[in-house]
Amino acid sequence: MPVQKVSHEMDLLDKVSRGDEKAFGEIFHLYRNKVYTIAYRLTVAAPVAEEILLDVFLQVWLKREELKEVKHFKAWLFTITRNRTFSMLKQMAAQKMAIPIPEDGDDLLLHATEHPGEHLQEKEYRQILRQAVTKLSPQQKKVYTLIKEQGLKREEAANALNIAPETVKRHLSEAMHFIRVYCLARLGMLAALFLLKELL
């Protein structure tokens, strides 16, 4: 990596360690494709890889103060990615599910929502999520509601809607992608990451 590029990255990481959300957004965009690619190659499932991507960068933010001691950020980041991916693979194997649904009450979220005033922000974030859901196609909305809000499994949703499980999978994947894009476009990078990690 060119010296100038390394210097710029170090400057960004220093800002992130001091809580700069704009710098965090730049680091996210700089490494998001690499993290996603690693996760996808190991899981061969786009929704799972996206979940890992969100989780990895939440960990980066929550561990931002440690960045001052990190000598090789790329290696540090990829180690987090590898560990989270292997953890997800174990979870998938244990649940015998092709696509796991994130567990409620994730420790990362518990640490991330302990600050005063965030209840109002959370309400605003959820409103944006609801707006995104209302803009889904009728079939995507039905699938999203049954699986993500009512907790049905893919096969159960397929039976309820009288469609094939693979069709349910496709509608859910398309719905999740639209919601992610919608939320990221309307929230700051950090806010969107926390919202998507909690609710998707």
pLDDT by residue (tens digit) across 75-96? 999 999 998 888 888 776 765 5
The model carries a pTM of: 0.56
Residue 19 and residue 21: Cα distance in Å, rounded?
6
Taking only the tens place, the pLDDT of each residue in 136-187 is 999 999 999 999 888 899 999 999 999 999 999 999 888 887 887 777 767 6
Residue 11 and residue 24: Cα distance in Å, rounded?
11
Taking only the tens place, the pLDDT of each residue in 44-78 is 888 888 888 888 998 888 889 888 888 899 999 99
Q: Give yes or no on whether 1-100 and 103-200 have one common fold.
A: no
- Domain extents for the chain? 1-100, 103-200
Own/partner pairs, 187-194, CB within 8 angstroms, 24+ separation: 187/125, 187/128, 188/21, 188/25, 189/21, 189/24, 189/25, 189/28, 190/21, 190/24, 190/25, 190/61, 191/121, 191/125, 193/28, 193/54, 193/57, 193/58, 193/61, 194/58, 194/109, 194/112, 194/113, 194/125
Residue type, 65: E
Query: What would the CATH number be for the domain defined by 1-100?
Result: 1.10.1740.10
Euclidean distance between the first and final Cα of the chain, in Å? 35
Query: What would the CATH number be for the domain defined by 103-200?
Result: 1.10.10.10
